[in-house]
């Protein structure tokens, strides 16, 4: 596509596939995220690294066993397991859905995530016509719901992909929060603890969360330290891409 007609198109969709990951999450209380994958054009097989998480160890164990023994899995190796999280190397025998995306010039631009039998995809296309053709082909074979379609103009698309590492750094900071830290932080923001002037004190925030103001203060400091550390690391990466980084006043 020439000149100004070029416009990237991003599609987010949920699909229910007859694949091992979908079947496992439909039957077990486990979430499977696939950050790394590789499709072999010679064999049609898909090589995956799968991150599994569950509310507890027993649910995780059941999900892992089900994935290991699932029809369509030709290889399974548990790499690590800690608490209610695990990582496995998996090879799937057939990947018709992904082949459909690639055949229409599309690309997978974010990890897959399987939950309750549904798989969320984030796809990228060079133009909306390719996206429409892909969705039409998939819709004829699978149950799917389009969550979002976003055209990325020439000024936005490069930033989205160029700063992937910085975005991942921020996300990592969020994921490092414990469930308690995330809940207390959300409550603090929602009830005006960070507003000026504050409409919530440590004491009243502690009452909302059912703990002392001292405990709330410690929890907030831990959460802030994790998020601010991730934000500073991300900003450092952004600074290296700025034309005036490291010199002058940036004007």
CATH number for the domain spanning 167: value is: 1.10.10
Q: Which of the listed residues 125, 152, 179 is the one where a domain comes to its end?
A: 152
Phi, psi of 209 (to 5 degrees): -95, -5
Q: Which of the listed residues 152, 176, 202 is the one where a domain comes to its end?
A: 152
Q: Which of 1-5, 173-177, 211-215 has the lowest mean pLDDT?
A: 1-5
d(CA 91, CA 73): 6
Task: Tell me whether residue 110 is in a domain.
Answer: yes
161 falls in which pLDDT band (50, 70, 90)? low
Inform me whether the pLDDT recorded for 247 exceeds 60.
no
- Examine the domain organization and report whether 106 and 13 are in the same domain: yes
Q: Facing residues of 209 across strands? A: none
| Domain extent for 197 | 163-241
- Give the total number of structural domains in the chain: 2
In 71-166, which ranges are E strands? 73-82, 85-92, 107-108, 112-115, 118-125, 143-152
Q: Tell me the per-residue pLDDT of 104-137, one tens digit each, with 9 for 90 and over.
A: 999 988 889 999 999 999 998 988 889 999 999 9
- Examine the domain organization and report whether 30 and 86 are in the same domain: yes
By DSSP bridging, strand 73-82 and strand 85-92 are antiparallel
Tell me, what's the pLDDT at 223? 94
Task: Tell me whether residue 79 is in a domain.
Answer: yes
Q: pTM for this structure?
A: 0.67
- Examine the domain organization and report whether 21 and 81 are in the same domain: yes
- Examine the domain organization and report whether 53 and 87 are in the same domain: yes
Closest among 101, 142, 145 to 125, alpha carbons compared: 101
Q: Which of the listed residues 152, 175, 197 is the one where a domain comes to its end?
A: 152
Q: Tell me the per-residue pLDDT of 193-207, one tens digit each, with 9 for 90 and over.
A: 999 999 999 999 999
Q: Tell me the per-residue pLDDT of 20-60, one tens digit each, with 9 for 90 and over.
A: 999 999 999 999 999 899 988 777 789 999 999 998 899 99
Is residue 61 within 8 A of residue 80, CB to CB? The reply is no
Tell me, what's the pLDDT at 163? 72
Q: Take residue 189 and report the two structure tokens written for it.
A: 């923001």
Is residue 130 within 8 A of residue 100, CB to CB? The reply is no
């Amino acid at each position: 596509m020439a000149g100004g007609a070029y416009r990237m198109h991003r599609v987010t969709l949920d699909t229910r596939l007859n694949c091992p990951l979908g079947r496992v999450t439909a039957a077990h209380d486990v979430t499977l995220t696939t950050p790394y994958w590789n499709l072999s054009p010679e064999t049609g097989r898909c090589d995956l690294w799968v991150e599994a998480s569950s509310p507890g160890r027993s649910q995780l164990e059941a999900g892992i066993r089900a994935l290991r023994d699932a029809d369509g899995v030709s290889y399974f190796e548990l790499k690590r397991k800690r608490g209610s999280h695990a990582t496995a190397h998996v090879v799937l025998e057939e990947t018709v859905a992904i082949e459909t995306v690639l055949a229409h010039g599309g690309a997978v631009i974010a990890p897959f995530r399987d939950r309750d039998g549904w798989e969320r995809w984030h796809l990228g296309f060079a133009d909306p016509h390719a996206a429409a053709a892909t969705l039409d082909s998939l819709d004829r074979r699978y149950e799917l719901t389009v969550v979002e379609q976003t055209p990325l103009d020439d000024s936005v698309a490069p930033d989205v992909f160029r700063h992937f590492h910085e975005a991942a750094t921020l996300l990592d900071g969020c994921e490092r929060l414990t469930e308690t830290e995330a809940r207390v932080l959300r409550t603090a923001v929602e009830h005006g603890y960070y507003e000026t002037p504050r409409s919530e004190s440590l004491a009243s925030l502690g009452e909302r969360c059912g703990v002392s103001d001292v405990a709330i203060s410690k929890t907030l400091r831990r959460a802030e330290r994790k998020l601010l550390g991730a934000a500073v690391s991300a900003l450092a990466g952004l600074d290296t891409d700025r034309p005036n980084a490291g010199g002058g006043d940036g004007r």
